[in-house]
Amino acid sequence: MPNGGPDNCSNCLHNRALREAESLGISGPVAFIKHSYCSLRGVDITRPFWTYCANVTAHRYRSDERPRGPIFSSGLYEGYVRIPWHDDTEPQIEVPATCVLCGREVDSGITIEDDEVVHGFCTNRHYVEWWKGHHADGRIDSEAFQSPEERFDSNE
């Protein structure tokens, strides 16, 4: 089980790969990942063991439930942290990026696609700062993540 927490899509009955494992003939993790699809939110889940949301349910599946809050991915490692998706778009983690906020070029950053434009970020914090410019969600605080100075100074 990933240390990022058991409350992930691999344990959620909204994930069709779990709910319909038998009829889909799923017998291992490769097939499980391939078939992971959130029927509540209508999105493919590419990393089911590392994706989360407040609707996760292992026991009380209801097909008429409403989505609560964003989907989250595991962010860049600074301890296990979760960063929100941009609506139905999953952030790409640990990819080369040039940060649109500070201009840093990093080998292991974050990118997100928005209106067919790909934006890059050096850190979880700068990604979440950008995200908050697009989503009014007071529960998510960019200050909770490492600043670029903390992240890169500690790696020198």
- Is 38 one of the binding residues for ligand SF4 (CB under 6 A)? yes
Q: What count of Cα atoms within 13 Å lies in the side-chain half-sphere of residue 74? A: 19
What are the beta bridge partners of residue 44? 37
Chosen from Zn ion, ligand SF4, none, partner binding at 16 (C-beta under 5 to 8 Å by type): none
- Is 14 one of the binding residues for ligand SF4 (CB under 6 A)? yes
For 11-129, strand residue ranges (E) read 37-38, 43-44, 51-52, 72-74, 82-84, 92-98, 105-114, 117-121
Among 33, 40, 110, 128, binds ligand SF4 (CB under 6 A): 40
Chosen from ligand SF4, Zn ion, none, partner binding at 126 (C-beta under 5 to 8 Å by type): Zn ion
Among 49, 126, 127, 128, binds Zn ion (CB under 5 A): 126
- Is 73 one of the binding residues for ligand SF4 (CB under 6 A)? no
Amino acid (1-letter code) at residue 44: D
DSSP state of 15: B
- Is 76 one of the binding residues for Zn ion (CB under 5 A)? no
Amino acid (1-letter code) at residue 94: E
Measure CA 142 to chain center: 15
Of residues 105 and 137, the one with the C-beta less far from Zn ion: 105
Residue ranges in contact with ligand SF4 by CB under 6 A: 9, 12, 14-15, 38, 40-41, 45, 51-53, 55-56, 71
